[in-house]
Amino acid sequence: MDRLDNTIRPYAWGSTTAIPQLLGVEPTGEPQAEMWMGAHPGAPSRTERGTLVEVIEAAPERELGEKAVARFGPRLPFLLKILAAGAPLSLQVHPDLEQAKAGYEDEERRHIPVDAGHRNYKDANHKPELICALTEFDGLCGFRAPADAARLLAGLDVDSLKPYVDLLHARPEDAALREVLTAVLTADPDEMSHTVTAAAAACARLGGDYAPYADIAHHYPGDPGVIAAMLLNHVRLQPGEALFLGAGIPHAYLSGLGVEIMANSDNVLRCGLTPKHVDVPELLRIVRFEAADPGVLRPEASPDGEEVYETPIDEFRLSRYVLPEGTVAHDLTRATPQILLCTAGSVRTGEHELSPGQSVFVPAGEKAEVTGAGTVFRATVIV
C-alpha cells in the first residue's frame, strides 16, 4: 500500500484553522478549504511510485482490480476529501449521468474550451456526493415545502418578497418552487440587491431560524442566492452524521469540517452565492423541483465493527471504524481499491502509522489490517 501526500486547495471559503488543527500543524493564515485524496487529474495524490494517476495508469487491473476496471474503466471512480468550510460555498446542483453525457457532448460539439468560465460540463460523469461531519456542520439541502418557505419569507416583512410568498401559496409544489426560483434568479440585479439588503437586515434582527441566512448575506451581500437559499432546508449535522446529495438536489455547505466523497467529476451548475457563471436556463432544466426531507444519514454498524453510510451509488462506498484502545486487528482486505483515512487517534496499517489527516491507498486485493486506537474512514467502490 502507498502512503498518500495530498494537495490542500486554498479556496477563499476555506477555514484558516480547521485543517491545520486536524493535522496538528500551525495555520498559515491562508484559507485551507479541501484536502484531496485520489486520482483526480487536477490534484492527484502523490506516492513514492509517482502520482496516483500514474500508478493506476501503469497497471489499472493490478491497482483497481478486474471487476472495478470492467465496471468503471481504468480510473479510480471516486474522490475523497477533507472539507473545511469557513464561509458558505456556492449554492449548486449536479446533473445525473444522462444529463452530464448530453451536456458534455453538446459543449464539445460547440467547441467550448473545458476551462472556459461559462462552460457547464467539464466531463461526461455525474457527481453524487456524501458529506460526513467531523465537527458540527451546517448546510442547505433540498427544497422546503412551499408553505414553509412562504412562512420564512413572510416573516421578514419585506414588501418586495410578498409576490414570492403569494406564488408559493397559490401554485402546486413543483410550479411554485420553479416560478419563485426563476423569478429570483432573473430579477433586475439592482432591485434584487435592494431586496437582499432589506432581507439580510431583517434576518440579523430576528435571529433564530433566520440566523444562517444573515450569515450567508454577510458573506454575499446583495446576491440573489441569499433569497434562493431561504427556499432550502437548513441542516445541522452532528459529528458522525452525513448527507447524501444526489442529482438535481440544490445544496450548499455553510460551515464545519467533514469527510466528503464523490464520483470523480467537476460538473457543477450554480444557483448563487458565487461570482462564477450562473446559467439560469440550464440550471432550471437540471434542478428537481420537489420538497423533501434532507434525510440525515447515520452509519449502520456491522458485526465486525464497520459502520457503513448507505447510498444508492456504486462509484463510492464510505464507512468508518471507531477503534477503542486494545481493539484486535481488523482485516480490511478487499478485492476493490481503497483509501484509508485516519481522522482521530493513531492507527497502524501495514508499515504505516497514521495520525489525523494521514491516508494510504490500498490496491485491490492487497492485505490490509488496522490496529490502534482511533477513527479510520474507508473509501472504496461497489462492484
Catalytic (active-site) positions: 270
The rounded radius of gyration (Å) of the Cα atoms in the chain is 22
Cell numbers placing 185: 434568479
Cβ pair 289, 50 in contact under 8 A: no
| Dihedral sign, Cα of residue 289, residue 291, residue 296, residue 299 | negative
H or E element that contains 309:
strand 307-309
User: How many degrees, rounded to 5, is the angle at CA 262 between CA 268 and CA 229?
Assistant: 45
Alpha helix stretches (DSSP H) within the chain: 18-23, 52-58, 60-64, 66-72, 97-109, 146-154, 162-170, 173-186, 189-206, 211-219, 225-229, 280-286
Distances, alpha carbon 232 to alpha carbons 41, 163, 249, 280, 333, in Å? 33, 18, 10, 18, 41
Cβ pair 340, 368 in contact under 8 A: yes
Cβ pair 72, 65 in contact under 8 A: no
Strands 137-143 and 307-309: unpaired
Strand partners, 47: 50
